[in-house]
């Protein structure tokens, strides 16, 4: 009988020509996506498509995750904040890319999920594979202020505006990648860089993500301006 780790991983041969970073490609090939989906969906784990994970949420299309992660240009040991842990699959990719010899992979990853059931499932899947990120149940738009600053951030839900608390928690010279757009039909990925406190924006293309839900975003005072 195959285990989750035996299932096909990404990327497949000759796929994802835009994903040129060999470390990113190696991380996606090493992390078993099947370990982060329900047993009845594992036959579809190698599909380059989103899959349901419960609570009205999905595990994102691997290709989109790869583009977002590649844009961060992560280095070993960097402190990373992830908003929207979901299944934990992306958390495992981040943990793999920033691993440090002699430390458990994920020791420098801080992940926030608002739905307790998903957070518990993600934690179990990650620990079963030997990953040890820091996980928190809470409001993603608020970030993790007591652990700031972060060298890199990735947000896996879309908002009409960049959350100001996250921008404040990004280190000088840091990078943040997130989907932006209130209308699901008009979302795009932004790569933000903090240079001398100013926001530099690079647009990476259109996407479709679930919304970032937070009462903080109802207040324009919590919107960061580009």
Catalytic residue IDs: 60
CB neighbourhood size of 56 (10 A)? 8
The answer to whether 118 and 55 are in contact (CB under 8 A) is yes
CA 222/CA 154 separation, integer angstroms: 18
CA 206/CA 14 separation, integer angstroms: 23
CA 91/CA 122 separation, integer angstroms: 9
Query: How far does Cα 37 stand from its chain's mean position?
Result: 16
Phi, psi of 59 (to 5 degrees): -85, 125
Phi, psi of 93 (to 5 degrees): -65, -45
Residues 167, 173, 178, 182, Cα dihedral to 10°: 50
């Amino acid at each position: 009988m195959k285990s989750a780790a035996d299932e096909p991983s990404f990327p497949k041969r000759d796929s994802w020509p835009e994903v040129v970073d060999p470390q990113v490609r190696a991380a996606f090939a090493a992390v078993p996506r099947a370990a982060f989906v329900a047993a009845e969906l594992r036959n579809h784990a190698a599909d380059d498509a989103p899959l349901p994970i419960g609570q009205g949420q999905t595990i994102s299309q691997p290709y989109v995750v790869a583009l977002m992660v590649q844009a961060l240009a992560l280095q070993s040991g960097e402190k990373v904040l992830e908003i929207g842990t979901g299944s934990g699959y992306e958390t495992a990719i981040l943990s793999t890319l920033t691993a440090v010899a002699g430390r458990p992979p994920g020791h420098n990853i801080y992940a926030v999920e608002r739905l307790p059931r998903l957070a518990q499932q993600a934690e179990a899947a990650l620990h079963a594979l030997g990953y040890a990120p820091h996980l928190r149940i809470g409001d993603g738009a608020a970030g993790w202020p007591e652990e700031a600053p972060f060298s890199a951030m990735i947000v896996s839900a879309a908002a009409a505006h960049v959350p100001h608390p996250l921008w404040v928690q990004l280190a000088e010279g840091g990078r943040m990648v997130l989907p932006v757009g209130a209308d699901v039909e008009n979302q795009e990925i932004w790569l933000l860089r903090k240079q001398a406190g100013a926001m530099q924006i690079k647009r990476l293309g259109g996407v479709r993500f679930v919304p970032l839900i937070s009462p903080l975003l109802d207040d324009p005072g919590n919107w960061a301006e580009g």
